[in-house]
Structure 1
Amino acid sequence: MLLAIFGFGLANSAEAITRNVGPGQSYATPCAAIAAASDGDTIQIDAAGSYNGDVCAWTKNALTLRGINGRPHIDAANQNAQGKAIWVIAGNDTVVDNIEFSGCHVPDANGAGIRQEGVNLTVRHAYFHDNENGILAGDKSGSTIIIESSEFAHNGAGDGKSHNLYINHVDKLIFQYNYSHGAYIGHLLKSRALQNEILYNRLSGDASGSESYEINLPNGGLSYVIGNLVEQPITSPNSAMLDYRSETDGMNADDRLFVVNNTFVNDKGAGIFLQIAASTASAVIATNNIFYGGGTISSQPGTLLSHNYSGGNPMFVDIGNVDYRLQSGSAAIDAGIDPGSSAERSLLPTQEYVQPTATQLRPSNAAFDIGAYEFVPDLIFCDGFEAIKTCH
C-alpha cells in the first residue's frame, strides 16, 4: 500500500507541465492555456503578447501563472468573467507572479483584477490598477492569502465600497513589501481576515487623492502592523488612518492589535492615527512609531503607548520626495526599545520597505530607532557604490 501511494504521488508530479503563452507559443492567450491545463501546471505568459479582453474563470488547483520577458498586461477591455473579474479563481493553491491587471468594471461595481474564491492564493510582483477592486477575496475558511512586492493604484468604483484590495473572511492575510496608493474613494487595504500581518509596505495617498482609510480592519482579528510607511493626504475624505473593529457584525474573536516601528505621516494635520472601536477589549500595543503631522494618536484610552515620537520634527531626509529615513541628529535615533514578542511571534522589525515594492534588511544596532527606518551613519561612496563608514 505504501508503494502504491508513493507511486501515485510521483505520477501526479510527472503530469504537471509548463504551458507557454504568447506569440509563436502553443497558446495565444492565458485563458486558452488555463482551459487546457491540469492541476499543478505552470503557465508562462510572454509579455510580448496582446491579451486585452482575455478573461476567464477556473476551478483547477495548484496552478502557477507567471509573466516572463517583462510583465504581461491583461486589460479587461469591457469584458469580465461571470460578471466578477478578469480572473475568477475558484481553484485552490494558486500562485500569480509578475502580471498586470487593469480596467475591470462590472454592473454591480465590484469588478476586480482577481476575484479569489478558492483556498490559498499567493500574488507576487503584480500590478493592479484602474479596476473597481484590485483583488477581491470572498469568505473562505482555511484560506491564507499572501500578497507581496506588488502595486495597487487607482482602484475603486467611487462608491466607497470598493477598494485597492478587499480581503473578506479568510484565516490569514500576509501583506508585505507592497505599494498601495491612490484608491478612488476607497481604502488602500481592507481586510476582515482572522489574522493580518501587514509588514514593510508603503500605504500612501496621492497628493490630491480621495482614498479613505489607509488600513481598514473592520472586524478586528489578531493583527500585526510592523515597519510600514503610512501617509494620509490632505485631500482624504476620512480623518483616520488605521481603523480597527469599526463594524458591529461578524467580529473576529481575537482583538489584539500590535502597531510597531511604523512611520505615520498625516498631511491633514488633524484627525486620528489609530481609530480603535470602543468594543476592543484588548489594549492596543503601539511601540516605536513616528506619528507626524498632528492628530490624536489613538482613540482608545487604554492604548499601551511606548517610545513613540510625535509632536515635533523627526528630521526626515526629504519629505517632499517621500524619503522618510532619519537625518543625523533626529530625536528618533536610539530612542526606541526592543518591542519584544506577542504570544505567537517576535515584534522586532527585520526589514525596511524600499520604493517601489521591494525590501532590504533593517540594520541591527545596539540601540533601537523609532519609525520604519533605522538610521545608518557615515554613508559614503566607494567606487560608485554606497558603503557604511569605510572603503576597503
Structure 2
Amino acid sequence: MKKPLLFLASIFLTFTLCRATVWQVGPSQAYTLPSQVSTLVQNGDTVNIDAGNYQSDVCRWTASNLLLRGIGGYAHLESNGLSWGDKAIWVIQGNNVTVEWIEFSECTSTSQNGAGIRGEGLNLTVRNCYFHNNENGILIGAYSPCKYVIEYSEFAYNGFGDGYSHNLYIGNIDTLIFRYNYSHHCNIGQELKSRAKVNYILYNRFSNESSGNASREIDLPNGGMAIVMGNIIQQGVNGTNSNLVGYGMEGLSNPAPHNLYLINNTLVNEKTVGSFVAVNSGTNLYKGYNNIFAGGGSLLSGAPQTLDTSGNKYYSLIGSAGFVNSGAYDYRLLSGSTAINAGVAAGSASNGYSLTPVYEYVHPAGRIIRGLISTIDAGAHEFGLSTGEQSFAEDEIVFFKDGQHLVIMAGEQINHVSIYALSGAMAYRSAYPSLIPLTGLRSGIYIVYLELESGRKLSRKIFL
C-alpha cells in the first residue's frame, strides 16, 4: 500500500501547488488595498502590490508560505497611527512568509510598541524593506522552532522614546540571521535588540551618526551563540548608552554555550567615555579578532571566563585610524593605515561556522564580495580590493553562485528575471529578484532573460 499512498500524496501536493494564486493589488487593480486580500489568500499564494502609497491600511496575514511583495518600487503602508489588533501594520501569523519591497511607517498602539511587522508565525524572511517612524520597526515574540532572516533592509527613527521600543526587537526565537542591513537613528532604544538563542549579525551598518540618540547599537541581552562579523558599528556623541555592543546584560538565560564572536568589525565611538563591548561576567567565551576600535572608551567591560583576542587595532583618536572619510562614515582604509595586513586567521566558531569574512557592507543596505590576497586587514573593509561600489559596463551582467543561490548583479536594478532550459521549459520566474534559489535547477545550460529598470531587455546563457 505504500506506493499508492505515495502516489496519492504526490497528486495532492501537485494539486495544491497548482492552485496557488497570484493576487494583484494597486490603485488600478480590482483590489486596491492589501487588507482586501489578506483574508482571501491561501497557503502558497503570492500578493503583488503595486508601488505607491497606501494610507491607513493595516491587516493580519494568517496563511502560510506566502510571498508578499511590492512591484515597481516600495509599496508604502503609511498607517497614520493605526495598527491591526493594536499591534502592527502587518501582523503575520502564518509560517514561512516572505516580505519584499514594502515600506512600513507611522504605526502606533496604546501599549506604545506599534510595529511595522509583528511576527507571530514561524520562519519569516524580510528582504529589501524599509521601516521608519514606527514605535517598533519589527517586533517578534518567543516562538520555536523558528528562524528569522532579515536582509537588505533599512530601519530608521523607530522607537516610542521610552527605551523599551527599538528599531528591531527580536524575542526568544531559535535563530536570527541579520545581514546587509542599515539600522540607524533609533529613538532612545537599541538599533538591534535580539533575545534569539543563536544570532548571526553579518555585514551591516549600525549608526547613530551626528544627531542620533539611540542606546546600544547591538544588544544581545540573554547571551547564547552570537557571531558578529563584518559590521560597521558607530556611536555618535548623543548616544544614550555607555557602550556600543552589549551581551548578556539582562542575564545569560539562553541555552549555553554563551559565546560571543566579534570578528572583523569597525567600531567607532565618538563619545569620550564608555566601552566598546560590555559582556556578562558569566560569558563562556569572548573571542575578538581583527576588529578596529576607534575613539574614546575602554575596549571591554566585564570579565568573560575565556578571553581570546588577536589582530585588533585600537586608535584613541578616530583620525589616526586611516579612514577614507570618518566625517561621512566612510571607514574604508587609506593606503597608510596600520590596520592593513594587521589581521590573523580567526578559525571557526564552536558550531563550525567560518570566522573568515567573505563580504563587506555596501551603503545603503547592500554587500560586495570581500577581496583577499594574503593577510587579512583589521576592520570591516579590505584595503584596495573592495571599493564599496560595483561598477559595470552598460550591458555587463555578473552571475555567481552564493551557497544555494544564484546571484545576478548589474549596473541598474533588475525588475524581472526569467530562466529557461534549452528545451524551452520555464525553470524560474520572479519580479525584483535578489537571490534565486538553486533548488530545482539541475546542472546544465540555461537562458536567462532580464528586464532592467531602464526598460532594457537582455539575455545571457549560463551554465550551472
* TM-score class normalised by the smaller sequence: over 0.9
1:311 CA displacement: 2.7
* Structure 1 equivalent of residue 443 of structure 2: none
* Residues 1:16 and 2:20 are matched in the alignment: yes
* Residues 1:305 and 2:309 are matched in the alignment: yes
| Alignment counterpart, residue 241 of structure 1, candidates 222, 241, 244 | 244
* Structure 2 equivalent of residue 320 of structure 1: 327
Relative to structure 1, is the Cα distance of residues 378 and 85 closer, same or farther in structure 2, using a 3 angstrom cutoff? Answer: closer
SS at match of 2:98: strand
Find the aligned partners of 1:289 and 1:353 in 2 and give their Cα distance.
Answer: 15
Relative to structure 1, is the Cα distance of residues 206 and 335 closer, same or farther in structure 2, using a 3 angstrom cutoff? Answer: closer
Equivalent positions of 1:138-177 (< 5 A) are 138-177=141-180
* Residues 1:45 and 2:53 are matched in the alignment: no
- The ranges of structure 1 where at least 4 consecutive aligned residues each deviate by more than 6 angstroms after the TM superposition are none
* Residues 1:329 and 2:329 are matched in the alignment: no
Find the aligned partners of 1:378 and 1:224 in 2 and give their Cα distance.
Answer: 22
SS at match of 1:44: strand
> Normalized against structure 1, the TM-score is what?
0.94
Higher relative contact order (CA 8 A, sep 6+): 1
* Structure 2 equivalent of residue 388 of structure 1: none
* Residues 1:80 and 2:88 are matched in the alignment: no
Question: 1:307-364 CA distances to partner (integer Å, 9 max, x unpaired)?
Answer: 1000352200111111100000110101111211113210000000000000000002
Please tell me whether the aligned partners of residues 182 and 206 of structure 1 are also in contact (alpha carbons under 8 angstroms): yes
Equivalent positions of 1:351-366 (< 5 A) are 351-366=359-374
* Structure 1 equivalent of residue 446 of structure 2: none
* Structure 1 equivalent of residue 134 of structure 2: 131
1:161 CA displacement: 0.2
1:58 CA displacement: 2.6
Bigger mean CA deviation after superposition, 294-303 or 251-260 = 294-303
Relative to structure 1, is the Cα distance of residues 249 and 196 closer, same or farther in structure 2, using a 3 angstrom cutoff? Answer: closer
Please tell me whether the aligned partners of residues 269 and 295 of structure 1 are also in contact (alpha carbons under 8 angstroms): yes
Amino acid at match of 2:353: R
Please tell me whether the aligned partners of residues 83 and 107 of structure 1 are also in contact (alpha carbons under 8 angstroms): yes
Find the aligned partners of 1:353 and 1:78 in 2 and give their Cα distance.
Answer: 33
Please tell me whether the aligned partners of residues 76 and 103 of structure 1 are also in contact (alpha carbons under 8 angstroms): yes
* Residues 1:7 and 2:11 are matched in the alignment: yes
Question: 1:229-248 CA distances to partner (integer Å, 9 max, x unpaired)?
Answer: 00001111111110000113
SS at match of 1:6: helix
Amino acid at match of 1:306: S
1:52 CA displacement: 1.0
| Alignment counterpart, residue 285 of structure 2, candidates 244, 268, 283 | 283
> Normalized against structure 2, the TM-score is what?
0.80
Find the aligned partners of 1:251 and 1:143 in 2 and give their Cα distance.
Answer: 15
| Structure 2, unpaired ranges of 5+ | 394-464
Find the aligned partners of 2:209 and 2:383 in 1 and give their Cα distance.
Answer: 26
Question: 1:63-112 CA distances to partner (integer Å, 9 max, x unpaired)?
Answer: 11010111110011232101100011111011000100000011000100
* Structure 1 equivalent of residue 271 of structure 2: 268
CA RMSD of aligned residues (A): 1.6
1:31 CA displacement: 1.2
Amino acid at match of 1:320: G
Question: 1:161-183 CA distances to partner (integer Å, 9 max, x unpaired)?
Answer: 00000000000000000000000
Count of equivalent residues: 380
Question: 1:214-259 CA distances to partner (integer Å, 9 max, x unpaired)?
Answer: 0000001100000000000111111111000011374433201100
Relative to structure 1, is the Cα distance of residues 139 and 202 closer, same or farther in structure 2, using a 3 angstrom cutoff? Answer: same
Relative to structure 1, is the Cα distance of residues 340 and 250 closer, same or farther in structure 2, using a 3 angstrom cutoff? Answer: closer
Find the aligned partners of 2:298 and 2:167 in 1 and give their Cα distance.
Answer: 26
Please tell me whether the aligned partners of residues 19 and 26 of structure 1 are also in contact (alpha carbons under 8 angstroms): no
Percent identity over the alignment is 46
| Structure 1, unpaired ranges of 5+ | 386-392
| Alignment counterpart, residue 214 of structure 1, candidates 213, 217, 222 | 217
Find the aligned partners of 1:283 and 1:177 in 2 and give their Cα distance.
Answer: 26
Amino acid at match of 1:284: Y
